[in-house]
Every structure is written in structure tokens, then in C-alpha cells.
Amino acid sequence: MTTSGGTRQPKYQRIADALRAAIRAGEYGPGARLPGENDLMAAHGVARMTARQALGVLQSEGIVESRKGAGVFVRSFRPLRRHGVQRLAGERWGAGRSVWSADIEDRTLVVDQVGVAEEPAQERIARVLDIAPDDAVCVRHRRYVLEGKPVLLATSFLPAALVAGSAITREDTGPGGIYAHLDELGLKPVHFREEVRSRMPSQDEAHRLSLSAGTPVMLICRTAFAAEGRPVEVNEMVLDSASYVLEYDFDA
């Protein structure tokens, strides 16, 4: 289906554009309910599938969210700007500050799910950490919730032999987190590598992050290296893509 006037833009896209423009103009503020499928069908003379696709476009962009049985609403959550370089600076965690302090300003962040265990290393983790397959790793699972909204799932893997008996093996690592305690062990991180990609979430990820239908996740895999290129941690993160802006600020 195409629009009139010789353009080839689908009608659902034209409706999505109009709704997006209305949101940006303030006609629908944060938390406001958008016209439903029936309203869009009547206003634009389109089929239900076209109206559903139009709303789906805005959901996939993270502009709106669907609430089961209630409708589609403009998102009121302000995206978190993740400062990819500044947050990992040694003077931050070295002074006992969380890497999150570079991102959250005065917003309230809590870690509401924490788990620590010792497990045999999976092959992909063993390869990155340069340890033998099935060597033990300390595994730390966390869920981060910002202003009541789950935004990130993180799982860190560290060679168990390196961190045995340290604060890293406790649920609450204390000031500075993992990196400050690696420093105490003589394994100060001096270099980081992050890989970023995206996909649709698993059912468990969608549930734990309270994702609206159609919302993808971003995956960040960070490896921390101590001196002489020694890998000391792999951190696999799953981010709600609608809740984040990834910012990398560096000199030429």
C-alpha cells in the first residue's frame, strides 16, 4: 500500500511519521496515551494491520511503549547516556567510585539482583581469558534498575584462581567495584576492549528487563586487561536499547 502523490512511502509509515511529529511538538507528552488502533483506522481509513504497524514503528524506535490491556503510551523514561570512555577511567574506580557515576548524574540506581558462583569456564570465556577449558571462573550476575526501570543485565567472568578469597567473590564488592579490587590484587586494569552488537531479546531477557514487544537489546562484551595484555575479566552486558544512548568521546 502506498501513499498518494506518487510517493512510495507505505501508509503505516506516514501515520507513524505524523504521530512522531505530534509527540515532538508536545501534543502527546511523556506518559500520554496515543490513539489506539481503532482510532487510527477511523482517522486514516486504513486496515487494522496498517494501524498496528504504525504503532509498531514507534515502539521499535523506543518512543512509545505498549501496556497490555491499556494501550500505547509515550515513554516517560529519560534514556541513560552511557559514557563509554569516561566511565572506565582509572581515576574513577581507583578513587572508590562506581563506573556508573559517569552516567547517572543524580538519578537513583539500584542493583536488585546479584548472584556470585564458581563454575567451569565455557569455551568462549576460556578462550578470551586465556585459560584452559573448564578451568574455574568466578561468575557475577547483576541486574541494574534505574528509577524503577530495569535497564541492564550484566555477567562478569574472572579466573577463579586470581580472585579467590578477595572481595570480588562477595555479592557486595564495596567501593570501586571489581576493578578497584583487581588493583589490590596486583591486576590493575590498564586497557579495555568493548564489542557492541544488537539482536532481539530472549524470552528471559525480555521478562527481566520488562521490555515492550518489538524492543531489541544491545549487547556489549567488555574485556579488561592488566599489564602485558593479560585478560582478567569478561563482562557480557544486555542493555534495553530504548533506555540507552551510547556515547564515545575521544580525541583524534
DSSP letters spanning 5-60: TT----HHHHHHHHHHHHHHTTSS-TTPBPP-HHHHHHHHT--HHHHHHHHHHHHH
What is the average pLDDT score of the chain? 89
Which fold is adopted by the domain 11-74? Arc Repressor Mutant, subunit A (1.10.10)
C-alpha cell at 119: 563454575
Q: What are phi and psi of 164, to 5 degrees?
A: -55, 130
Domain with CATH 1.10.10.10 in the chain: 11-74
Checking if the pLDDT of 194 tops 90, the result is: yes
Kindly give the pairing relationship between strand 230-240 and strand 149-159. antiparallel
The 10s digit of each residue's pLDDT in 71-104 is 999 987 788 888 887 887 777 777 777 787 778 7
Beta bridge partner(s), residue 223: 193, 234
Q: How far separated are the first and last CA of the chain, in Å rounded?
A: 47
Q: How far apart (Å, rounded) are the C-alpha atoms in residues 210 and 96?
A: 31
- CATH of 80-247, picked from 3.30.70.1350, 3.40.1410.10, 3.90.550.40, 1.10.20.10, is 3.40.1410.10
The 10s digit of each residue's pLDDT in 144-178 is 999 888 999 999 999 999 999 999 999 999 888 89
Q: How far apart (Å, rounded) are the C-alpha atoms in residues 141 and 160?
A: 15
